[in-house]
Amino acid sequence: MNKRAKLLDAMRNNPRDWRIEDLLVVARQFGIECRNSGGSHHVFGFPGVEMDVTVPAHRPIKPVYIRQFLLLVDAVKELKK
């Protein structure tokens, strides 16, 4: 199991206490775009996937945002198949 798969499994098993840097690592590995114009929120999206996920950059990130981000990752994985 590679580092990306381990990180995703860890997020699925425990959606608490993650930082925005962790989400940026996963997003980069899947080609998910991240927009942040200097504000306190990051917006993750992918061309061809209708869902955008807005995540506040406060630490720790609440589990609801991690679950939404994982749904986006799953949608990107399905699109790339």
User: How do the domains of the chain map onto residue ranges?
Assistant: 3-80
1: helix, coil or strand? coil
What is the value of pTM for the model shown?
0.92
Q: Which amino acid does the sequence have at 62?
A: K
What is the reported pLDDT for 59? 82
**Do the bridges between strand 53-56 and strand 41-45 make them parallel or antiparallel, or are there none, so unpaired?**
antiparallel
Note if the bond before 60 is cis, omega within 30 degrees: yes
Confidence of residue 77 (pLDDT cuts 50, 70, 90): very high
What does residue 42 show for φ and ψ, rounded to 5 degrees?
Answer: -115, 140
Measured distance CA(30)–CA(28) in Å, rounded: 5
Tens digits of per-residue pLDDT, 19-53?
999 999 999 999 999 999 788 899 999 999 999 99
